[in-house]
Amino acid sequence: MSSIRQFQVTFDCAEPERVARFWCEVMGYVVPPPPEGFTTWEDYHRAQPPEKRGAWFVCKDPADVGPRMYFQRVPEGKVAKNRMHLDVRVGTGLVGEERLATLKAECARLVALGAVHVQTLVADEENESCIVMQDIEGNEFCLD
């Protein structure tokens, strides 16, 4: 039995490039070079049949450590809560007020990029603080 060592995270969305570029900013990821034979992504997309233009986009960890993120256009919009979400780990190792201040600062940065602050969950006897957010198309994620 083989061991899986890599995976990618796939997002269904209406505007793949827009959502991918948002997540590049969130994660510190980059847009990889366009496919071989194309100088720019715009050149690549123009070369596709009209129905395929802008159908997908990717971003990747510049250090090739984290998973690749793939964004694919789908016709339907988001209608319910995600069954799976990302926890963006900005407060790892921090506790109490220091953690909450770090989470709030990152929340403010992401709201400026178009994210939505949904709810701040303050630490209790079992859990540390986290902030529930939505990306620019309404996909939930947490600042943890």
R_g over Cα of the chain = 17
The predicted pLDDT at position 4 comes to 67
The predicted pLDDT at position 18 comes to 95
> Mean pLDDT of all residues in the chain?
92
Tell me the three-class secondary structure of the chain, residue by residue: CCCCCCCEEEEEECCHHHHHHHHHHHHCCECCCCCCCCCCHHHHHHCCCHHHCCCEEEEECCCCCCCEEEEEECCCCCCCCCCCCEEECCCCCCCHHHHHHHHHHHHHHHHHCCCEEEEEECCCCCCCCEEEEECCCCCEEEEC
Least confident of 24-38, 76-90, 107-121: 76-90
- For the chain, domain boundaries: 8-73, 86-143
Q: Is pLDDT at 133 greater than 90 in this prediction? A: yes
Which residues sit opposite 87 in a β-bridge?
A: 142
Name the pTM for this structure. Answer: 0.86
CA 144/CA 101 separation, integer angstroms: 12
Q: Is the dihedral of CA 88, 90, 93, 98 positive or negative?
A: negative
Mean pLDDT of the region 103-107:
97
Q: Is pLDDT at 38 greater than 70 in this prediction? A: yes
